[in-house]
Structure 1
């Protein structure tokens, strides 16, 4: 059976009466006794309405709601139903309730007043069921009396009255009631207002009593009336007030107009009008109000009038509205309007309210809007365009009407000249100067094409005009000002900028050792201090280069090498003031002879240069003049001594192979393969390879970033380069880097054989050149077989290959220039010596000195120019200067006094052919004593003193100092 749906009220089962068909003997004793007669469900009846104890109306209908179960008995039950009250049948009707399973509903009626017992009986399924409940029936009673109320409780004449119920009526039987209102004036009925809850304005008068009566009805009976009364009081004066204008502006004059009447006819005893602004009383309203108002003020005219009844007040109010600002003028600023200018739009405006004004702008170019920013940049228009601006202002409430400026035409923008720098600075007479444009010229007019003119001025006079940005300051004098002036023109306007330097003769003229900035002297007779000098670079990381000075005559020719740190070179000093110095292992070792000492490319990968010190006649293993090179690691510099044996501080010693080899006559550390580590080259120019007596050999060691402990010899070399013939003396002089000659990023190598036979000359000397990367580890080979090219002398004993140096790229073709020394060359006179300069990269094939692009000869026979060459940029023009000397030059009557020269790179770049070096050199230094031997070396040393300029020096190994014969000296010149 499906579930019975729920109703809103719970079911009350009042009574169930069960009747059975037959007696108990009619049912089988056991289930199996009679299968043909199944059990019948019990009939039940329940009522939910009315509820037990309910009060019902007498002689009036009441509802019936209930449920019969089982549901299939419902129809039969309803057809047999009876309803009695106190045992007497009463009228009723029942029907099915479609919303409730087994439910029914209906209506009963005709109850007599008093207590009643209701009994509902149904029969179905041969059973009966009864529901019984007790109720009370009562007759109709009138509603309770309503209590009305009148508002307002103290009305004035003419005021509307409103009737309402303070307490509504109630019906004892719960029947709905209606309430009716009637009115009386002074106890006189006012039928025209009956039924109204509102009496309109204008009806009442002072002194009247108005009463409202309320009666409730349930449709049959009415209640007793309820009443409420009010006394009408005098309304007092009636006031009408207005302010003109109704939307005033701060500059307006306000007037107040008002009228006063007395509805009850009473006399007006007092009348008063006042102005108030923002709630604060201000002045008499009979006087117009002006000059005190601002936008947003709330202005009131307050009128008060009094009669015998009361005092009344009326208020008129207005709000002060904004005064629109006015633009009185607009103009363009930043004129003239060029494409490099920034234009503004200036606005003049007034506001009667005194408000702070903000402005908005619009620029127009040729009639089209160009933006609404406060400014207009020159890149928004072009020369010849028509420009104006419009502007309006805002006072926080309203925008003004826009106004426009006058129009203007965009004019030509003057070009901006370039920014220049002139180098070198300081500059020197004869130097080549470069005018560098560090920031290019510009023109804001995109259509303009700029033309450029470069003028060079010497003391204000144009000495060169055109487009060249380089100039050689020949013929100038000390103190002159050299200026580079660059002028650009856009066809309408020119603009110029310039840079200038004051020329110095520091790198010009004839000097002596006395002109040096600092002098170092030997303290031992015949020490030959200054025989060689070189810089190993910056060993201690302070940014200053260090200085190495040698003297092969120290300690009975044991020889000595002296290291001066750049930071210590502040005043004249002697050899014992050196930061570290060493002597040869034994007398006669000649430590520091020939090429003496140098630094070079890092050998062991610590980022620092090692010191390479040579002793060409050192004895080893009992073999005389075996020769040695001592490698000192800069990592050990804190423990380097002063005056001890060089072997004590050496990290590595490389010795010759047999007696008389004279290993260490020349040596170098060169990164030939570009791996950042130096290869170690050690020459033994008197070695006898392949039976070539005194032919010489060069041993090459690839150390791979590690300095091996102990000693090495030729047998340990990774490559052995041997001379071609006897007495070639391979490696006696020039051995080292020429720089990158072919522009491939790798340096080239020079090895000289100053007594080697050439193709067409005997004993004239040969310089062999090797390409970067052109050597690799292998067995012994003939040195000439691996060279990319060679240069030989012209005559016997020219001594070609005794020295060589790379000059960098002097002519700007991307290839390096280089030079060779031939101290017995005959360029200008017999054995005058010479320096031979080659342009355009490394040699190819067999060349001789006639193939040089420039030859520089000594001044006189026997001068011996070119024993040593050095190069560096001394004047800051980016070109290397050439430093060399002729150590046997006769100065006056002083034989072998010697001389040194500096030839500017800018000069060399412009030479072609043969010259006497004295004629092209920018500077010379002459010896001041017989056998001073000035010019045996003249060396560019880099920056020793921290002034940012390259310094240079020269040795005078033969001078007598402090009475010490041939003690030797070094002259240092701060750069340039």
Structure 2
């Protein structure tokens, strides 16, 4: 698997200090990560989770049936897995988090399977799955062959004022106004009924291939939504368009038009957050085949949610970068008070041939903040999503995915959850088996400022919030019996529990788990952190907490 790297203002360095976890697909050509989103708190453990689609998973006798996995935001372990029901269904082609729809404390997810054929060939279907029971709460089907119902799905904040978010479904194969003119269907997740149906303008527009909720743009108290038609010819051949609708009535608020011939404007669209601090959420749009300065370099553009006015854009660096194949609003990453955005360029060669990258932009002015690069063949940037504050450090995190994986000829794909807060403690694994036991390696890297200083390992079985405040330092450990045991028995489960950093400011420790432990400990989560003691007993530094789950 590739190890993603980070470039900051043209200076590259390893991303280890900002990497939360990476999770890979399970077999060659799975296309794991083709779709990803926050899942909310799917298992009601108090931690935000992630939903990932792998539409090309093959099941016994079912080619391209597809699979969706929900990953724990705590450690990346799989907490739920759902498989497609038939060959070529492409279950997981699109995914979205919906929040807690039924008030049971568990969040729900929406999944598209545009190849589903129970009604007709490639008619498609969309399901809503319960976080608590893992059962279907709703299912909708495309009504005709080749509609590809469910090619895109998105959560729309309450469009019908029933107190529950709604689900927007893209139907790019809809032929009401011509072959593959496209369409969308906005459905109530509370009742299952249709709120709005909209058909594409003209044949081959593929209206509905990209959809997004965009917040309340017209300030009427109802959620609004945007729909991409990346093959629309309104400005030039396949220049593309994005239409923004009011959720209350389904009427058009404004339309955005691509300007590049064959530019595919609207192949990706997302809410950007408030990038200009005018009080309105804004919109980010991808044009992954835009011929800007080079053929298919790609383009990402940001528009005002207030009136559709153009704000700024960023161009791909080289031919066939395909910048804008995915886009996302990712919160305020650099702490300047303005929402920031990200765009994928799965054809970028900065990390090797077709390594791909995910580029983070300042929402304020479009300045490039960071580039996250894959390795050759990864196609990193296939999908991007804002996933909230996964690790509880107060900063927004995001997921970026590589639909391929350079370790295999056609790799399974992988997703990486990244935080732009330094992670000074990292581990080589997130889970250990109670029956087999094993070792979790821990890597301590506070930097050369702490060379030759004393570190002390700490642990808890009671979570990391609120932690312990020691002067200006917050130690992310809730004291409990496990904490006391580690302090009273140095070098027991954690070894070394006390040590010195090397001249480069790094050190290693490890957690050892003996085999054949009580199965009742299954799903117990431990957290470890280290503090720097200088001079004894003054604490000068506290790391992040790293988790370990027993399975």
Coarse TM-score class (shorter-chain normalised): 0.5 to 0.7
Residue number among 692, 716, 738 corresponding to 2:156 in the alignment: 738
Tell me, yes or no, if structure 1 residue 702 matches structure 2 residue 143: no
- What CA distance in whole angstroms lies between the structure 2 residues aligned with 1:573 and 1:615? 30
Structure 2 equivalent of residue 832 of structure 1: 239
Residue number among 176, 186, 192 corresponding to 1:769 in the alignment: 186
CA contact (8 A) 2:340 2:363 kept: yes
Structure 1 equivalent of residue 358 of structure 2: 970
Give the secondary structure class of the aligned counterpart of 1:859: coil
Normalising by structure 1, what TM-score? 0.35
Structure 1 equivalent of residue 147 of structure 2: 728
Structure 2 equivalent of residue 879 of structure 1: 280
CA deviation vs aligned residue, 1:98-155 (integer Å, no higher than 9, x gap): xxxxxxxxxxxxxxxxxxxxxxxxxxxxxxxxxxxxxxxxxxxxxxxxxxxxxxxxxx
Structure 2 equivalent of residue 253 of structure 1: none
CA contact (8 A) 2:178 2:204 kept: no
- What CA distance in whole angstroms lies between the structure 2 residues aligned with 1:889 and 1:968? 17
CA contact (8 A) 1:672 1:748 kept: no
Residue number among 916, 920, 934 corresponding to 2:323 in the alignment: 934
Residue number among 630, 634, 640 corresponding to 2:69 in the alignment: 630
CA contact (8 A) 2:286 2:343 kept: no
- What CA distance in whole angstroms lies between the structure 1 residues aligned with 2:14 and 2:206? 34
CA contact (8 A) 2:274 2:338 kept: no
- What CA distance in whole angstroms lies between the structure 1 residues aligned with 2:292 and 2:151? 29
Alpha-carbon spacing, 1:575–1:614, altered in 2? closer, same or farther (3 Å): farther
Alpha-carbon spacing, 1:575–1:698, altered in 2? closer, same or farther (3 Å): farther
- What CA distance in whole angstroms lies between the structure 2 residues aligned with 1:810 and 1:661? 35
CA contact (8 A) 2:114 2:151 kept: yes
Give the secondary structure class of the aligned counterpart of 1:855: strand
Alpha-carbon spacing, 1:607–1:720, altered in 2? closer, same or farther (3 Å): same
- What CA distance in whole angstroms lies between the structure 1 residues aligned with 2:13 and 2:90? 32
**Equivalences for 1:42-81 in 2 at 5 Å?**
none
CA contact (8 A) 1:523 1:574 kept: no
Tell me, yes or no, if structure 1 residue 747 matches structure 2 residue 165: yes
- What CA distance in whole angstroms lies between the structure 1 residues aligned with 2:222 and 2:207? 23
CA contact (8 A) 2:214 2:224 kept: yes
Higher normalized contact order (CA 8 Å, seq sep 6+, divided by chain length): 2
Give the secondary structure class of the aligned counterpart of 2:22: strand
Alpha-carbon spacing, 1:694–1:605, altered in 2? closer, same or farther (3 Å): same
- Note the C-alpha offset of 1:625: 1.2
**Equivalences for 1:131-142 in 2 at 5 Å?**
none
Give the secondary structure class of the aligned counterpart of 1:634: coil
Structure 2 equivalent of residue 3 of structure 1: none
Residue number among 201, 207, 216 corresponding to 1:794 in the alignment: 201
Alpha-carbon spacing, 1:720–1:655, altered in 2? closer, same or farther (3 Å): same
- What CA distance in whole angstroms lies between the structure 2 residues aligned with 1:582 and 1:569? 27
Alpha-carbon spacing, 1:630–1:695, altered in 2? closer, same or farther (3 Å): same
CA contact (8 A) 1:755 1:766 kept: yes
- Note the C-alpha offset of 1:634: 2.8
- What CA distance in whole angstroms lies between the structure 1 residues aligned with 2:111 and 2:45? 21
The runs of 5 or more residues in structure 1 that have no matched partner are: 1-521, 530-561, 641-648, 709-715, 776-785, 844-850, 909-919
**Equivalences for 1:811-960 in 2 at 5 Å?**
811-839=218-246, 841-843=248-250, 852-871=252-271, 872-892=273-293, 894-908=294-308, 920-960=309-349
CA deviation vs aligned residue, 1:317-367 (integer Å, no higher than 9, x gap): xxxxxxxxxxxxxxxxxxxxxxxxxxxxxxxxxxxxxxxxxxxxxxxxxxx
- Note the C-alpha offset of 1:574: 5.5
Alpha-carbon spacing, 1:622–1:575, altered in 2? closer, same or farther (3 Å): farther
CA deviation vs aligned residue, 1:551-600 (integer Å, no higher than 9, x gap): xxxxxxxxxxx9x9xxx99985567773321222111111112xx22113
CA deviation vs aligned residue, 1:22-48 (integer Å, no higher than 9, x gap): xxxxxxxxxxxxxxxxxxxxxxxxxxx
Tell me, yes or no, if structure 1 residue 683 matches structure 2 residue 112: yes
Give the secondary structure class of the aligned counterpart of 2:40: coil
- What CA distance in whole angstroms lies between the structure 1 residues aligned with 2:43 and 2:279? 31
- What CA distance in whole angstroms lies between the structure 2 residues aligned with 1:630 and 1:869? 23
- Note the C-alpha offset of 1:798: 1.2
CA deviation vs aligned residue, 1:256-314 (integer Å, no higher than 9, x gap): xxxxxxxxxxxxxxxxxxxxxxxxxxxxxxxxxxxxxxxxxxxxxxxxxxxxxxxxxxx
- Note the C-alpha offset of 1:932: 0.6
Normalising by structure 2, what TM-score? 0.60
CA contact (8 A) 1:813 1:840 kept: no
CA deviation vs aligned residue, 1:698-753 (integer Å, no higher than 9, x gap): 122223x35x6xxxxxxx534321110111111112x1211123444322210111
- What CA distance in whole angstroms lies between the structure 2 residues aligned with 1:674 and 1:804? 24
Q: Name segments (4+ residues, structure 1) moved above 6 Å.
A: 568-571
Alpha-carbon spacing, 1:653–1:965, altered in 2? closer, same or farther (3 Å): same
Give the secondary structure class of the aligned counterpart of 1:740: coil
- What CA distance in whole angstroms lies between the structure 1 residues aligned with 2:80 and 2:249? 33
Give the secondary structure class of the aligned counterpart of 1:750: strand
Structure 1 equivalent of residue 37 of structure 2: 598
Tell me, yes or no, if structure 1 residue 587 matches structure 2 residue 28: yes
CA contact (8 A) 2:31 2:54 kept: yes
- For the aligned residue pairs, the C-alpha RMSD in angstroms reads 2.8
Alpha-carbon spacing, 1:613–1:957, altered in 2? closer, same or farther (3 Å): same
Give the secondary structure class of the aligned counterpart of 2:325: coil
Residue number among 49, 58, 62 corresponding to 1:610 in the alignment: 49
Give the secondary structure class of the aligned counterpart of 2:261: coil
CA contact (8 A) 2:146 2:173 kept: yes
Alpha-carbon spacing, 1:660–1:723, altered in 2? closer, same or farther (3 Å): same
CA contact (8 A) 2:160 2:195 kept: no
CA contact (8 A) 1:869 1:938 kept: yes
- What CA distance in whole angstroms lies between the structure 2 residues aligned with 1:751 and 1:609? 24
CA contact (8 A) 1:602 1:608 kept: yes
- Note the C-alpha offset of 1:829: 2.0
CA contact (8 A) 1:600 1:609 kept: yes
Tell me, yes or no, if structure 1 residue 803 matches structure 2 residue 239: no
- Note the C-alpha offset of 1:667: 1.4
Give the secondary structure class of the aligned counterpart of 1:651: strand
- What CA distance in whole angstroms lies between the structure 2 residues aligned with 1:609 and 1:904? 29
Alpha-carbon spacing, 1:860–1:866, altered in 2? closer, same or farther (3 Å): same
CA deviation vs aligned residue, 1:594-641 (integer Å, no higher than 9, x gap): xx2211332222232211111110122353212111111234x1xx4x
Structure 2 equivalent of residue 130 of structure 1: none
Alpha-carbon spacing, 1:571–1:949, altered in 2? closer, same or farther (3 Å): farther
- What CA distance in whole angstroms lies between the structure 1 residues aligned with 2:224 and 2:304? 14
**Equivalences for 1:551-570 in 2 at 5 Å?**
none
Alpha-carbon spacing, 1:882–1:853, altered in 2? closer, same or farther (3 Å): same
CA contact (8 A) 1:523 1:575 kept: no
- Note the C-alpha offset of 1:662: 1.2
CA deviation vs aligned residue, 1:47-92 (integer Å, no higher than 9, x gap): xxxxxxxxxxxxxxxxxxxxxxxxxxxxxxxxxxxxxxxxxxxxxx
Alpha-carbon spacing, 1:720–1:906, altered in 2? closer, same or farther (3 Å): closer
Give the secondary structure class of the aligned counterpart of 2:307: helix
CA contact (8 A) 1:602 1:669 kept: no
- What CA distance in whole angstroms lies between the structure 2 residues aligned with 1:739 and 1:571? 39
- Note the C-alpha offset of 1:948: 4.3
Give the secondary structure class of the aligned counterpart of 2:277: coil
- Note the C-alpha offset of 1:768: 0.2
Give the secondary structure class of the aligned counterpart of 1:869: strand
CA deviation vs aligned residue, 1:230-259 (integer Å, no higher than 9, x gap): xxxxxxxxxxxxxxxxxxxxxxxxxxxxxx
**Equivalences for 1:128-527 in 2 at 5 Å?**
none
CA contact (8 A) 1:831 1:861 kept: yes
